[in-house]
Structure 1
Amino acid sequence: CMGLVPTTCLAVRDSLDEPWQPTFQGIRGFQHAPGFEYELMVLDEAIPNPPADGSSRRRTLLEIVSESNFGIQDADDDGASNADEITGPNGGDANADGTPDYEQPNVGSIMAAHGQGHIAIAATGDCVDVKELTATSEQGSGLIDGNFDFPLDMVTYTLECSEPGQSATVAYYWYTDADLSQVHFRKFGPTTPGNPATAAWYDFPATLETIEIPVTENGFTVMKPVLKGTVMLTDGQLGDDTGLDAMIVDPSGLAAGSPDVQLEKRLTSTGPFQPGMPLVYTIVITNTSNQVLTTLPLTDTYDAAYLSFDSVASANPAPDDKSDDGQLNWRDLTTTLGDLAPGSSMQVVVHFTALQETSSALDCNGAAGAACNTATLNGGIAGMAQSHVSVQIDPIPGKSSIGDFVWHDWNGDGVQDAGEPGINGVLINLYHDANNNNQIDSGELAASTTTMDDTGGAPGFYQFPAVVGDQQYIVEIDPSNFSAGGALENYLFSNDKTTPPISNGERTQILSLGNPENRTDIDFALYCPFDLALVKTLGAGQAAGIAAGADVTFTLAIINQGVVTAANVTLVDYLPTGFTLSSNDTNGWSSSGGNVTLTLPGVVAPNAPQLVNIVLTAGQNPTGVYTNTAEIAAATDENGNPLPDRDSTPDMLNGNGTNGNAGEAGALKDDQINEDGTQPGQDEDDHDQAIVTILPPPALELTKTLESPEPVRTGDQVSFTVRITNTGSVTITVLPLEDDYSNTHLSYVSATIAPTSVQPSTLSWNNLAPANGLAPGASVSVVIVFKTEADSALVSPTPPCTQPGEAPNIVHIHNAQADMDGAGPLPVMNVPTYDACATVEITDPTAVQLANQQVIQVSDGVLIRWSTVTENDIVGFHIWRNNGSQVEQRSHEMIPAKISGQSGGASYEWVDADATLHAGDIYLLEVVHTDGTADRTPLHSAMNMPVYLPFIVQ
């Protein structure tokens, strides 16, 4: 029958009572009237008249036909017409599931494009709605696949999914007599779904098998061999052309022949394998084409739950993407290995480490018990090829284990004392000493681990679980731990502190392990030298001798002689008797229990001393030498661990040698930092002293004596003797003197030692000390001569003078200095200030006799009034003012006497215009006589007080 399988034919009748029409030429040409029922039967062409009852070979289709051509209908909308599916193998049930193919949307059956055989597909899973099922020959598609041929043609179809990313299992059924002993399931499409630029031919994983399906022929049921292929397709993954879109588009076919490139992956390591063991794979690529391959991108896919890419051993050549994430990528192998000529091969070697046993893994065929590793050649000239290798990783036999702690042995005694912490991050290696030679040989590394917190939170723990028993092992602290930045940088082994750690035998431990046996005693004690020292000196520029009550500055140098950076370094300063922390100290010290303490900010790094000053104030202590001692009270490392010092005991107990500080009690040595204070007779280097001497204060006796008999008259000379005596115990090296006098009453004439400076009312001597200084007990004297100028009867006392009516003469010693030790290192000291006073009574018997006098402040100045008794020898008058520091003539012209040369008297008023009368101001009336002489008489003053003049009646 035309268009059908040659061994079958279609018969039709419109009623069970009507005869069959077996000669009808195919259902495609059958014209029928709409609305009628028809019965169709597929029968063998060799039987022209089928049995009347249709027998078991009859299939009935009852439907109301509303189409004009029943033969081209597609009842299940899968792309295959009803006619194709009804006339398919096994009476239209090509997948032998008992349901006609045309009734199932997930099953489709079509003729091969070249007419040789029948192809059916059946989809199960999430995406089961088959659409657009067609068959195409290789030539008809225009996609020529190199050396491959497609004897059963290619199949294209679409699977519709309910959601993106869903999957389907598709079974193919090929009814053919072709020789398919060398077949490949091949696909053409993007190797990156959705990206047409990556389109290429490639092998796709498929399970191919020959099954037998019961088929009725000539009235008999026989088992007919059928080639079945099963593939897994996932939306958006390799095998789907269109990307993640809830639709799987799959052009594929069964190809015979050899590819352009042959890819073979094999496991070159010899099993059995256990977790922790290395695995080596070799990928061989052979060019089976007749052209040079210039691009070879390779991907190696592995299950990262069971295999870990060995980043140390790596691969040869190394992949471009080395991330241990389940996929390694080489963008183009020809970049490093060169182009691949026809007939030539290249290989890639990849190293992995087994992570865990694979009882729960699936192998490359989907069976349990092994992990799959797949090499894929991703397109290029060679198309796409894959090779799969499964590996079984067995569980580690036995229940033995090895482990314990790596800890910081603070005191270096090799015993893990309470509080000594473990050290995390230490790389530990376990070697299987297979030949029992007690040495680490190549290839014996069994496992590595890093110390961490145990289940109780204690650091420094490590363990190698599930180790095979009845073997000898070597546990090693990896040398890299001692490198710069390593977890054990600067550490030493407690039991051998002199041998460098990398070459130290303490770095490894050898043990024979029973079966089963858990060794939890393989520990390692490491000591990190922690050593702080303190040196105390007088501060820069600080004198070794001071006066009582003075400040003294000390400098403390904190030196890190170890290898561990110190933090939280607390210092204590033991104050000498009578000393206190100065109010001038700005270094952060604080008083604590009679001592002072300070915690240094920041850290003290090895070989980087930190300096800090302390300023103390000496009390009114007796003369003598005072010792100021300081000590390191406490310190930690940068993590806050209180590490013990290797040659001293930090504390706040001064001189506690009986507590183990042998070098603190009686062997304290100034500035010594290289002895072991834990040993008798040696200095504790975190404890040091400095001394300061309180020197006796210098002392002087200052006197001033009037040498002339009193009273003296104006115009006479008077002399004063100034005597200075060193009554202390130190030499006075600088002895300045100042003499203050009233230039109203006195004027300087001379001195036995000429003054350095002569100013109105002040004489100054810069230094009266002899060349070698004024020694204790020695004296120096100066005799000063003055001329008297005015009557002193009206003078008030000037401190420190207390005698009224006398002219004062005061001497002062300011800024004198004493030398403590001559040419020695001690600096000079300032001498206290001294004052002395002497006075002289001055009378003026020749002075004019005044009837009255008055000095008063008025609005326009100072009003001066006086009256004379007689003017028989007076020519005139001048007015002077003395403000205590200078005498100034205020009347620029002489005031003429009103009755000069007469025996009577007269009254006068004169205003010192715009002047202000201040306390201490003295106005003087200068009387000019007829013989040219003159004398001055002080006038009384009354500041802002009314003056009551007597009422005189003549």
Structure 2
Amino acid sequence: AQVERSDQYDPDSTPDNDVPSEDDQDDAVLNARVAAIVVEKTVTPGSSGRNAPITYTIRITNTGDVTLDPVSLVDTLPTDLHYVGPGSPSDPDVIAEPLLTWVDLGSLDSGESLTVTFPVTATPGIAGTYWNVVTATGTTPGGPVTDTDTVPVDIEDPAIDLDKEIIGIDTDIVAPNYVTFTVAITNVGLTTIDVLPLLDQYNPTYLSFHDATPYPDEDADDGLLTWYDLTTAAPNGFGFDLTPSQSVLLTTVFRVASDINITTTNVVTVTGATDIYDYPANDDDDEVPVWTEGDPGIPTPIEVLYLAAEAVESGAAVEWATAAEIDLLGFYIYRAGDSSFGGAQVVGYVSAEGGGSSYEYIDGNVVPGEVYWYWLVEAVGKGEPDTYGPAYCGVGLEWLPYRVYLPMVVSGRASAAQAESRSRLAAPPLPPWLRGSLWAGMTTKGLGGTYPGEGKGRDKHAT
């Protein structure tokens, strides 16, 4: 700056000549004052369930050099989100959704901040991502300054996930046999589940309910187990609510009721679960096959220990024994003229007598000199019957079991009567599964007997 006019003479300067060395001119630095405002908005939680509270937090900062007075705020709620209050430091001065307006939040000096928080909830039934917009305004002598920020929130349904597995199958020959399942139940939603019903469906033809942990509220062995609410106390529940990401494990045990030799499934379902805000969770189910094509299957609790056939004077005797019999009515005896079951016909029926029983069926309608093959087919109350065999034998004199007689050896000092006397000692009878078998033939031949039908090009077997 310099002197532009003067009414007196100054030998050291000439007005308005723009000569910096003269004393009527000097420089100065002016620092301009700047007004500025910054607003930042966050939401907690960033993802939420329906009906669950959502809290917005807005931080307003004076980043300029000029006092902001007053500071005002306008928040634009997303559609289907609603203010529930109370807000901090105060409720909005005007609530006209979707707009929330704070007219005067006070003043902010340079570098100062203030925070506004308020809760909202989502309309039941909505889901998706919702954006919120906020605008903060600071008033200065030079005019207003503003800033805007946005933040998303995800609204999700309560959600349950089920995972059912077979963890054990008892396949030994000792009845009863069992199948053990586990059901993993996981809260994959964002809110706590406080009502958790469960249904477990199974085929009672093949499985019979034995036990479970927790134990079902309805345990009638009719193909459906029901738990009213697994969050209740034992013995019918776990005794606590299921928080987000938490899992529980339910175990069920079934007895094998009849042969599982077809594909059958066990299905578990959650339906009617709700969270702590009374909003329904998804329905979910999972199923596991108990038997699939190509598997060996799960044995029935009917176990036949052996099956044998042998010639007797009246025809052919079919003999067998069982270790266990559950839901067994009896046995059909099938017969064929060769080893093919396709041509076999029913020739008899024997009623079941219970596990540990031995059976014999005499087939008198036979032709001497012929060979016959025999099978057993279960008669069961439910499920698919098993078939056992074949065992085969010939009929007629040449197929009858042999007895081997040994001479009585006496010393030279024995009496003449003793020497002339001969006692025929019969070999002890063989067990049913060896009589008339290849092993029996080898035994009698070793003792001096012959194979039945020896020289006729055939052996006798029992399977």
- For the aligned pair, the TM-score class normalised by the smaller chain equals 0.3 to 0.5
Please report the TM-score for the alignment, with normalisation by the length of structure 1.
0.18
Higher relative contact order (CA 8 A, sep 6+): 2
Larger-gyration structure (1/2): 1
